[in-house]
Chains A and B, each alone.
Chain A
Amino acid sequence: MNNKLNLLGSVTVTLLLANSAMAQVDPGVPGPLDITRAEYDYGDDAFDFMGRPTEIRAVVWYPTDLSTGPFPVVVFLHGWHLTCYQGGTAFQGEWPCNPPHMPIPNYLGYEYEQQILASYGYIVVSISANGVNARDTQFTDVGMLWRAQLLQAHLDLWNMFNTVGGDPFGTLFVGAVDLTRVGTMGHSRGGEGVSRHYTYNRELGSPYGVLAVLPLAPVNFSRELLDGVNINVFLPYCDGDVADLQGAHYFDDARYVTGEQFNKHFTTIMGGNHSYFNTIWTPGGWPAGTWDDWQAFQDSLRVDPWCGDIQPDNHKLTPEKERGTFMAYGTAFYRLYLGGETEFLPLLKGDALPPPSAMTNEILVTYQAKDAPGSRLDVNRLLSDADLSTNTLGGVVVQNGLTGFDLCGGEVPQPQHCLPTGLGQNSLNRMPHTTPSARSSMRGLSQLRFGWDDPTGALSNELPAGTGDVSAYNVLQLRSTVNFRDPRNMAGVPQDFSVTLIDGAGNSATSVVSASSGALYFPPGRATPLTWAIPKLIHNGIRIPLSQFPGVDLTNVQFVLFSFDQQPQGALLISDILFAD
């Protein structure tokens, strides 16, 4: 099955995907169950955090027939936004709203996804956090513990609804709520909020079974480690607000936790912005305080050929299409990890085409399997200089004809960033994997940086005797991005290279990356002005099915060889070479 991933207008990258991996079911279309909407509201000051009033208020969508439960619970937490409005004017820092100002219902912005999930048998609660937003910057953690405790208070309410009942529902939900299967989604600052909630719930002894956390265009100030849970981080390429896509750290930081038994994903949405995921924040969605963040904070004239929306053939998603990506990939995530619908795992690995509900094919999915036999075999983690000569399996690493060839972005002594950083140029916005964190000094993703000047360049990783049985795995996997600052890459032209597996008897087979992945696109966007947040380096996943290496004895692979012979010259950044399920 060919998937035409049209990047940069005239450039078409072909994704060759295994027919067997096709998603048979579209997760984002309405499901079979009748659903019902309700709200609960305990008032603007029902919750107190260090003397600050906070509302307990939420909108709920749930299966109308609760007798077939108990149902898993998913809680949504919106991000920072203006809190109050009057007519066409919005106000920030105010809570409760001073009459005649009225609350902006930021929590109502995700009902499109609440309805989809509810129709498959989930109780989906979107909570209001205007009280937090009004004063979160008065705390060094930017209100993240506050958000965590507020979310936990809602789960405590649902525990009450499930056991003895309570206002406003009476006994409606008694016995209908499965709090051992809880998912969360947090948007923007809410993304770190649900991450902090995950660790907070764990600090309390895990009274609720949080199994799936989805940070949506999140901030990552504190570098919470999301181990012990499945995650799917949404990264919209045209985010003009959290423009450095600092949420990439959630995935990067969690990928090599020893013994980790949960999967990690991130989803790059190439035309997505920050605000359209929330209907209330979208122009036209509320009388005051709405914007397109790409236009408001990056490109006021909307002229960028990719993220601006006035150029012909631009790739900016409409609000409807952007929400489609959440409906498809968010719903699949919860249905997989809360509902056990394993048929969606190929979609979340990047092995299946985006379903129609996503409304765009310009989505790249990256996957890190749990640390378990048969799930993942790390060949070269590329974390330290030692990995440039001896890989994670103890095999010899040899390069030929590659220039540069160093590690960047990781721990000292690596340079902190992989591209030059000019003062005032906002260049960090173009390097999500190494962008600094506001409350942490942690370094970012360690990346192999190199280029080649002729098509003889090559990189070989040996699998030592006793480690070369990869027959239990489905793919050879790595992550990579095209170095858009290096003139050896032609602007607008995707990169490509050959991958060869060689077994102990000398049999070999070769495939090219472009046959399996569109990840080696030339990062789109105008290079100037330098203050804009694109183009970006994003280490998207590349998965090459082992079925593309016929004739190789997969029980005795001896070498993984990358040959940079598909373009006369080029420059790439690579991370995480491994075999995976």
Chain B
Amino acid sequence: MIARVIAGSLPSWAAVGAVVVLVSGLAAAEGKRTNAIASLKAVSPGETYEIKVTSEEPFLRSDLPVLRIGDQDVTISRAPDDGGSYERIFILTREQFQKAKTGDKVAFQWGRGEGKRQLDLGTLDKSKLQQ
């Protein structure tokens, strides 16, 4: 038996009734989206590098987001500054960036391991590095 509430309150939003198609209400969901490398940037020159990728599917799952560049797995990442769900920024160490080569295949997958479904993001072009 539930007697009383002394602090706080039960949510009052229960009647909001959000309309859901697949995933309701995500930031930066407008416009046509593609699976692609959006930018390649040196953040702390000589230390870390950031690859921003875009996807036609939102980056919303609980498994580990993994960017495969050639035979390397990049697992450190962050959301974009605008909080959007269709972009992801992966952070490469200097060693990872040095090992990556122009022409390496770049793909995204959830979790590590072979045999995973991948989003093909194209190939790496290190000449597009922004300092």
Contact = CB atoms under 8 A, between A and B. Distances in A.
B31 interface: no
Contact of B1 (A32, A108, A426, A435): A32
Interface in A161-175: 168
Given A88-B24, A297-B61, A36 B115 contact: no
A188 interface: yes
A561 B2 CA distance: 53
A291 B22 contact: yes
B90 to A, nearest CB: 9
B115 A421 contact: yes
B2 A35 contact: yes
A295 to B, nearest CB: 6
A34 B3 CA distance: 5
Interface residues of A, number: 77
Interface of B: 1-8, 10-11, 13, 16-18, 20, 22-27, 59-66, 75-85, 91, 111-118
A90 B117 contact: no
Contacts of A70: none
Secondary structure dominating the interface of B: loop
A290 interface: yes
Contacts of B13: 286-287
Contacts of B116: 424, 426, 428
Given A34-B2, A428-B113, A436-B113, A137 B65 contact: yes
Interface in A405-440: 421-428, 435-439
B4 A291 contact: no
Nearest to B81: A93
B67 to A, nearest CB: 11
30 contacts: A36-B4, A37-B10, A38-B8, A64-B3, A82-B60, A91-B83, A92-B60, A92-B79, A93-B83, A101-B83, A119-B2, A139-B76, A140-B76, A142-B64, A274-B62, A284-B18, A285-B18, A287-B18, A287-B24, A289-B23, A290-B18, A290-B20, A291-B24, A291-B60, A296-B23, A297-B61, A421-B114, A422-B115, A436-B113, A438-B66
Contacts of B76: 137-140
A30 B117 CA distance: 44
A437 B78 CA distance: 20
Nearest to A94: B83
A283 interface: yes
Contacts of B111: 244, 246, 428, 435-436, 438
A470 to B, nearest CB: 40
A286 B20 CA distance: 11
Interface string A141-152: 010000000000
A344 interface: no
A427 B1 CA distance: 47
A48 B76 CA distance: 20
B62 A242 contact: yes
A115 B5 CA distance: 12
Contacts of A142: 64
A283 B66 CA distance: 27
A32 B2 CA distance: 9
B1 A34 contact: yes
Contacts of B118: 424
Contact of A37 (B6, B26, B113): B6
A80 interface: yes
Contacts of A84: 83
A137 B78 contact: yes
Contacts of A33: 1
B83 A39 contact: no
Given A289-B26, A297-B61, A428 B115 contact: yes
Given A38-B6, A88-B18, A287-B18, A436 B24 contact: no
A423 B83 contact: no
A59 interface: yes
Given A33-B1, A34-B1, A92-B60, 20 more contacts: A37-B5, A89-B26, A92-B84, A93-B78, A93-B80, A111-B10, A135-B78, A137-B77, A138-B77, A142-B64, A243-B63, A283-B18, A287-B13, A287-B25, A289-B24, A291-B22, A421-B114, A436-B113, A438-B64, A438-B112
A296 B4 CA distance: 38
B6 A36 contact: yes
Interface in A265-319: 274, 283-293, 295-297, 300
Interface string A70-99: 000000000110101101111111100000
A528 B81 CA distance: 38
Contacts of A34: 1-4
B22 A92 contact: no
Given A241-B62, A425-B117, A289 B2 contact: no
B62 to A, nearest CB: 4
B1 A119 contact: yes
A519 B92 CA distance: 45
A59 B24 CA distance: 25
A469 B62 CA distance: 47
Contacts of A197: none
A88 B25 contact: yes
Contact of A284 (B17, B64, B78, B81): B17
Contact of B24 (A108, A221, A243, A290): A290
A536 interface: no
Contact of B114 (A219, A241, A423): A423
B116 to A, nearest CB: 6
A267 to B, nearest CB: 19
B63 A219 contact: yes
A88 B29 CA distance: 12
A288 B117 contact: no
Nearest to A168: B7
Contacts of A219: 62-64
A189 interface: yes
B114 A286 contact: no
A134 B60 CA distance: 12
When A and B form their complex, which 10 residue pairs have the shortest distance between CB atoms, in order from nearest? A93-B79, A91-B83, A436-B113, A288-B25, A34-B3, A421-B115, A283-B20, A39-B8, A438-B64, A38-B7
